[in-house]
Chains A and B, each alone.
Chain A
């Protein structure tokens, strides 16, 4: 998780995670979407990408969730792009 509060005007946090296959990406994104909807009543303002693009974005305004295919996570390397952002680890 990246803390963008001091850096970005568009959002506060990026949550970045990865899956190992396209069905896996779909399952992760689906679970996040339904979990947040059912337990907290929030819906994403936008969903970008799709499993075949190997990068799905769930936009919850202050929090943006990026679900990558493992092999694409390095290519896009958001952690490097936002290397000026403090990193937070989420305890599950």
Chain B
């Protein structure tokens, strides 16, 4: 490993970011001895909308509120700064250009794994990063990559539904994130 800085890249729409994301990111950071996990906020396409989109600016505020003061956690606006679609390979290229000396690990949810090989320029991407599987399903699937396993039954979809139906989301998201959800009246129309 030498003195190379080890950086985990964790992409997602984080709508909203919740304790499931944070617990897994922290565990990846500790288990794989990362110096830093960068949460990369994904763009929402304006075209496919099954619900009112949460503006990137609000998702960005929630993300920052969630990781504030947490050593080793950082956030990037890279993908929401550019017209969609965003490609992971381009995101990694940009992050690498900023820190050419670092070793990069790409955190991918177990649900995205089957599609991994069909990603844009996958062969280039695999040259630049080590993949790490985040498995919160509780299953025992064997992977070709190191896996962080922890069964966590928290999902952004559930949180949005709970907000829409007036149920509590306390203990599912950091308090500061819940405050933003309330202030901005998010997820009211979610069915």
Contact = CB atoms under 8 A, between A and B. Distances in A.
Interface residues of A, number: 19
B83 A53 contact: yes
A77 B59 CA distance: 12
A77 B83 contact: no
A48 B53 CA distance: 23
A57 B80 CA distance: 12
A57 B57 contact: no
B55 A10 contact: no
Nearest to A68: B83
Interface in B80-103: 80-84, 94, 98
Given A10-B94, A72-B46, A81-B60, A57 B82 contact: yes
Q: Looking at chain B, what size class is its interface with the partner chain?
A: 10 to 19
B77 interface: yes
A81 B94 contact: no
B83 A56 contact: yes
B57 A83 contact: yes
Interface string A2-41: 0000000110000000000000000000000000000000
- Dominant secondary structure at the A interface: mixed
A77 B55 contact: yes
Interface in A31-77: 48-49, 53-57, 64, 72, 75-77
Interface string B33-55: 00000000000001000000101
A77 B82 contact: no
Interface of B: 46, 53, 55-57, 60, 77-78, 80-84, 94, 98
Interface of A: 9-10, 48-49, 53-57, 64, 72, 75-78, 80-83
